Chains A and B, each alone.
Chain A
Amino acid sequence: MQGIKKQMRCLFCLLVAVALLVTSASVVTFADKADASTAEVDEGFSLVAESDEIAMYAEMENGHFYLLNKASGDKWYSIPQNMEQDTITKRKERVTYQSELIIDYVMMDGFASGGLVYNANSNAECVIMGEVNVEEIKNGIRVEYVFSALEFTIPVEYTVTDGKFKASIDTKNIKEGKDCKLIRIYLLPTFGATMDDGGYIFIPDGSGVLANFNNGAASNVYKASVYGEETSNKKDVKYSNTENIRMPVFGVSKGTSGYVAYIEQGDTSASIRAAVGNATNAWNFAHSILEYAYICEDELVSQSSTSSSIFRIAEQKYNYDNFTVAYTLLADESVTYVDMADVYRDYLIEEKGLKKTAATEMINLDVYGAVETQANFLGIKYEKLEKLTAYEDVETIIEALEEQGIATEDIGIRYIGWQNDGIFNLKQLSKSKLLGVLGGKKDFRAMQKFLEEKGVTAVFDADLVLTRSGSIEKVATTAFNKKAWQYQYLPSVYVSKLTVDPWVMVNQKYLVKNSNSYLKSIDKTIENIGLSTVTNTLYSNFRQKKGAYRTDMAETMVSVLKKYNDKKYNVIGDSANAYAVPYVSKINNAPTKNSAYKMFDKEVPFYQIVLKGYVPMSGGTVQSEINRDTELLKAAETGTGLLFNCIYEDATLVRGLREENLYSSTYTIWLDKAVKYYEQYAKLFAQIKDAAIVDHVELQDNVTKTTYENGKVVYVNYSKQDVTVEDVTVKARAFATN
């Protein structure tokens, strides 16, 4: 019995091996043939555009097309091929998958109380009905998808320019009917989709993740809004912790071929979606979504405490002429996320003006000044500023670090909550006022002098975005003209925490106004300003008639950053979104985590690979790490600095406050750790702090290898066992260099 089983198993293995051999052999043959770049043109397709790298062939009657990577011969189809081999996916979805566009829309009849969203696809509504108008334009084709039943017309241009393939929705010429309103457009949802194994999708969630093809995850679809979910919408409950997308890039690697796509225009109002194969879906793909309009929800609570939802489409819509996604085809012996990062970095350099900024400090301290707490004098409540770190305490902390052997030039501080209402604005920040409770102007100037003498870079953080008060004319609102309150959530059940004041974002008009007046008021000794929230918060203001869509808001944010740059201030960002990156000279808290969906297989430091060597960075705070030394290892893996939360007073002061995540931040608690890290990492950091990353690979489980442009190689071992890779022994939970 057992014997037979064993034999069967052997046979099975053999069969699998043979099958694998045959398939890979055929891949090889295909590659051989392709090298000649004389791949046959598919039947029915004709050449519509060509560059040195890419040729584009299209079917003029239905708008289907494919791209030929001229170097490798790979073909990339706009919709999946060999659909007949798919035995898993449901028929209805197979029809949907063969579409260049999918739209989400609402029917205005009954929408206000029902809020239902429907979807339609170009295959069923346009191609099969014969309502696709294709015309040749310069460098490509223009396809007009007519969803006649819904009275939509959506023109899209597919072109090949600058060696890239660009898909561009001509949003200016979208036509909507009366009864149906367009909510979002899925652009080329199944471009290059494949059923094969042996590849992955790159998703920019958090620092970046890879999802292997056909990994079988039960919930196999990822969708997230670029730069975070829209916050100007009713939400007083959340379900779990997630990380935001910080860069509008996604890509697919099929091993020796792949593509990377970034959203060139409209990234501030887009989503990224990806799916992998599992028991009910055979296809692996990734694509972008244009968030054309937003649905806002509110609740009407009746006297009997029953509530009903009410829905409204925000008046503000996507307002650029185009929504453009640029695809770059990749081919190499092994196409990886590093190639994708290279393409995106080049784009940032060439188009967005990303420049090299010399790296600075290894030990970064987020120093928290004062925090407002609820105090009570004989029953009269008032807001009291509680000191966490006074101006002179900063000197004490720096001296303590220096005494332990940390060179002061290697220390950078970002002082948060050093002015006005402390960490958390009560009133909108429009004028800088030093705090008496922290020591007043005299102590402040003394601190500045001290820091300058010691060579410590000091950044002063200003939160121009969030506020706890302000009239409705000054803050972002929902589509129901209510202030878009944001809440702290209870860690246990994720409903809003009533003991912490809610907050709201400043609207576009006052953001500009406040930032200008603030600029005039800051102490003249300040050179570096931290604009954390301006660089990492994006939202709409859905106020009727006076609002601003996310796209406008992003432009406003950029204009503020530019203004500060023009006034010769160094601006320091915090987990900066891509649109803010070119204007910052340093990023603290660069994303090092991801949302950890089950469909993700690997985490990769994509954000760091793109920006390393250009923008100095530090990772997440050491206090936020779950296991010892994780942030140190991540810093070594990407050549970035370390970040500590830092206060002078006892950390138990923050219990129960909005800032309760500052636990264990008293400097005496982590001082030894900082010293130890400095001894371990300072030498290496000095060698790699300005170098860009040219290669990054996971050699084996939990062991990474990073190659810097100056030839330095760093191996990081996250596992709990010592390993030897490429003749280098790396200790458990440690790093080593060549």
Chain B
Amino acid sequence: MRTLKKLFVAVLCICMFASVFTVSAKDVEYAPYSGYEYNADNESVAAPATYIFDTLITYEDMGLETPLANPTDIYWSGETLYILDADNSRIVCLDENLKAKGILENLTDASGEVYNFKGAKGLAVNSEGEIYIADTGNLRVIVTDDSCVVKKVIEKPNTTLVGYDYTFDVSKILVSTQGNIYVTAGSVNNGAFVFDENYEFSYFFGRSTVQRTADVFLNYIRKQFMTREQIQKLQNYSPATILNFDIDEEGFVYTVTKSGANTAATLNKLNFSGQNIIKSEGIISTYGDLEGVRGILTNNHFTSFSDVDIDNQDFVHLLDEGRGKIFQYTQNGQLVSVFGGYGTQRGMFSKPIAIETIGSRVLVLDSGEGGVAEFVPTDYTVLLREAFIDLDTSDPQRAIELWEEVKTYNTNSLYPYYGLGMAYEKLGDYKAAMDNFKLASSNAEYSDAYHEYRKEYAADNLVWILLIAVAAIALVVVVVKLIHRALVKASGNEAFTVLENKYTFPLYTLTHPSDGFGQFKYRKELPSYLLSAIIILAFFLIKVYEYFGTGYIFNTNEPEDYSILSTFIGSIAIYILFVVGNWAVCSLMDGNGKMKEIASVTAYSLIPYIVSLLVNTVLSNFLSLDEGMMLNIVTIIGVVWAGMLLIVGLSQIHQYYIGKTVWTTILSVFAMIIIAVLVFLLFSLVQQVLYFGNSIIEELRLR
């Protein structure tokens, strides 16, 4: 009786323990990693967390008896999640709740031979449930059915395409709906082997195209001016190895490739013929982290993709082995989510090696933790994904609702403003579209909306615009007349022309350079330091105005980055350098020009260019992006005109033939460079001395 009572108490105890002490976390809604997005300047900006860690499913949670030993790949077939448990020579099959529903082990062929894996790396399953295993160490692909009977072993194909003595070290595997089998091999960089449904080798897929020589040369030059990091981010110019791939429902193959130890892996989207159709801007990869690490963590912390997965909504997931992160992109390369990292907090990894998605759930195989980590999207991400999916749909009202809700989570993001801009544009509310595109830093789209807006505005206000234009022209005429009258009065001469006053003389040289600058030789009052200084000062001020005043669409300048020094160098300093350089060169080459004359000719000649700058800057406020050609035309006119004036003017004052003028002008440019280099040398020498002194003081102080 007593024992019975004890038993009862004990059972009660167990129940109590079970209820109080089961391992059950209240969904910890905390992400040890920061959410972020990149802005238009490729700077990371804080955002809400996008995915949070749900659970780590270990062999026990799956319902297995032995732990996973070096699991290397996972594959979701639509109803079964296969885990390649390499060192156990088995494949674990899980249902969508990640509970074991079967184990494939002791693979045997018809002759009774048992197949064990050796460092197997890849796994794929076709629609009939046939399983393909890249048995890397044994240099073969094993094809088996779901009852562990080996149907076929694919071994090294004899192909002259890569020569005979390569190693068939198969690594990742993919099966298309047509039954083609794609196999990568670590030591072959010709693309992926493709085997047909009869397991016969047919061709190489996704072979990286060889660059044209001119491109390679250009890039070589470009590289000389790049930082190490930029070079590492450069897309590959040598044949790349396909590290991993995935295929979407339409049959496009997404690959991550890598061409060398120090280069970042990149994403490609290949069509049936193996052509890359990924949307990518410029030569710098836009996938992965765009910010580098200074200082302590220099090595091995670059983005380096090792797996790719396309979910059923066509979002692209990339596993970054370098930083242990997962990136999620839209088809247009917009970063939806980034999460993970290396660490000991929930949601961080110790050795993530493969990813799969089941709907919006992201599964990461972490061989360091010996299990599959499951992540679920936060409410913010669910909404953001939905909004992206609806971005192109025809219902702008719905899009506005969604993006407005996204804004309640994240106004730092550019996407809601982009989405709202698109929606308003569709609704014909171009002003609202412009405002939103501006907040989305979307220049091209802003320009389009502006174009439409301007059209509407012009149609609505045609009368006013015409009136203002007429008034402006009238004003200019009147002002010119007034000035002329004042000058006439000052000179006391009724037949006054610009020729007579040295301050209006540049207006004459604009159209009569040969005659005008020729007069310098006998009218000593014409060359003027003061007037030159005024013109160059105006040049400087207009340059400053150009930096800040260029219209939003054309202005790529960052006000925060503005340095008055660079404007100074670009205007005043370069002017002085040229004048001094030309004077030095021409003094040696029998030129008759004096310093004052050179200074004046150069300054007067610059007037067309200066005016073109001003006109462009004003005009840029009213043009849309595709009308930008007009700005170029104005610039060209300004430059050619100014150049012509300069050459003619210099030849007049130095009394050279045109040929010699061109020659001495080129030499002047060299002289400028020499002077600049000398100044720079002096500067850096002083800096070095200062730095040296500083480090001695530092060393003495700290040691």
Contact = CB atoms under 8 A, between A and B. Distances in A.
Contacts of B47: 491, 663
A625 B347 CA distance: 17
A29 B10 CA distance: 10
A670 to B, nearest CB: 7
A28 B10 contact: yes
Interface in A4-28: 20-21, 24-25, 27-28
Interface stretch (A170-178, A357-365, A411-419, A648-656): A648-656
Given A27-B13, A379-B562, A626 B49 contact: yes
Contacts of B6: 25, 28-29
B43 A656 contact: yes
Given A198-B17, A303-B692, A663-B412, A598 B346 contact: yes
B541 to A, nearest CB: 8
A627 B29 contact: yes
28 contacts: A240-B33, A240-B341, A240-B343, A240-B345, A243-B30, A255-B20, A300-B695, A303-B692, A310-B702, A374-B560, A379-B563, A490-B291, A492-B38, A494-B34, A594-B30, A595-B345, A596-B32, A596-B345, A599-B344, A602-B24, A626-B380, A627-B29, A650-B411, A652-B412, A652-B417, A655-B411, A663-B411, A701-B25
B295 interface: yes
A426 interface: no
Given A212-B23, A379-B544, A480-B702, A626 B45 contact: no
Nearest to A299: B295
A601 interface: yes
B46 interface: yes
Nearest to A624: B48
A626 B378 contact: yes
A628 B46 CA distance: 19
Closest 5 CB pairs of A and B: A379-B564, A492-B44, A491-B34, A491-B36, A219-B344
Contact of B44 (A380, A490, A664, A673): A490
Most buried by B among A112, A595, A663: A663
B292 interface: yes
B691 interface: yes
Contact of B32 (A595, A651, A660, A704): A595
Given A218-B350, A480-B702, A25 B7 contact: yes
A237 interface: yes
B52 A380 contact: no
Interface in A356-377: 374-376
Contacts of A112: 703
B407 A669 contact: yes
Q: How large is the interface on B (under 10, 10 to 19, 20 to 34, 35 or more residues)?
A: 35 or more
A666 to B, nearest CB: 7
B408 A664 contact: yes
Interface in B325-379: 338, 341, 343-348, 350, 368-369, 378-379
Contacts, number: 219
A536 B110 CA distance: 72
A704 B24 CA distance: 12
Given A24-B10, A24-B13, A493-B293, 17 more contacts: A24-B17, A28-B6, A255-B20, A300-B699, A376-B559, A491-B34, A491-B44, A493-B291, A493-B323, A595-B345, A599-B344, A602-B26, A626-B379, A626-B380, A652-B411, A661-B46, A663-B412
B21 interface: yes
Q: Which secondary structure dominates chain B's binding surface? A: mixed
A603 B26 contact: yes
Contacts of B323: 493
A378 B49 contact: no
Contact of B29 (A212, A218, A219, A625): A625
Interface in A194-242: 197-200, 212, 215, 218-219, 236-237, 239-242
Nearest to B50: A626
A655 B39 contact: yes
B27 interface: yes
Contacts of A199: 21
A240 B368 CA distance: 19
B216 interface: no
A660 B35 CA distance: 12
Given A25-B10, A598-B344, A670 B32 contact: no
B21 A198 contact: yes
Contacts of A242: 32, 345
Nearest to A375: B559
B459 interface: no
A243 B346 CA distance: 13
Most buried by A among B52, B56, B412, B692: B412
B28 interface: yes
A28 B13 contact: yes
A263 B545 CA distance: 64
Most buried by A among B36, B344, B544, B692: B344
B465 interface: no
Interface string A467-509: 0000000000000110000000011111100010000000000
B345 A627 contact: no
Contacts of A381: 560
A654 B411 CA distance: 9
Nearest to B413: A663
B691 A701 contact: no
A135 interface: no
B677 interface: no
A492 B34 CA distance: 7
Interface in B555-580: 559-560, 562-564, 567
B17 A656 contact: no
Contact of B31 (A626, A650, A661): A626
A380 B699 contact: no
A718 interface: yes
Contacts of B412: 652, 654-655, 660, 663
B666 interface: no
A38 interface: no
B88 interface: no
Given A241-B34, A626-B52, A666-B411, A596 B347 contact: yes
A25 B6 CA distance: 6
A85 interface: no
Contacts of A302: 695
A491 B703 contact: no
Nearest to A697: B20
A494 B301 CA distance: 12
Contact of A652 (B16, B439, B548): B439
Contacts of B523: none
B30 A628 contact: no
B409 interface: yes
Contact of A601 (B25, B290, B379): B25
B14 interface: yes
Contacts of A239: 343
A663 B345 contact: no
Given A626-B379, A666-B411, A669-B411, A218 B26 contact: no
Contacts of A600: 25, 28, 346
Contacts of B559: 375-376
A255 to B, nearest CB: 6
A651 B411 contact: yes
B405 to A, nearest CB: 10
Interface in B281-339: 289-297, 301, 323, 338
A300 B408 contact: no
Most buried by A among B338, B345, B559: B345
Contact of B295 (A236, A491, A656): A236
Given A236-B295, A664-B407, A596 B16 contact: no
Contacts of A490: 43-44, 291
A215 B23 contact: yes
Given A24-B13, A493-B293, A652-B439, A598 B29 contact: no
B46 A491 contact: yes
B380 A21 contact: no
Contacts of B24: 601-602, 698, 700-701
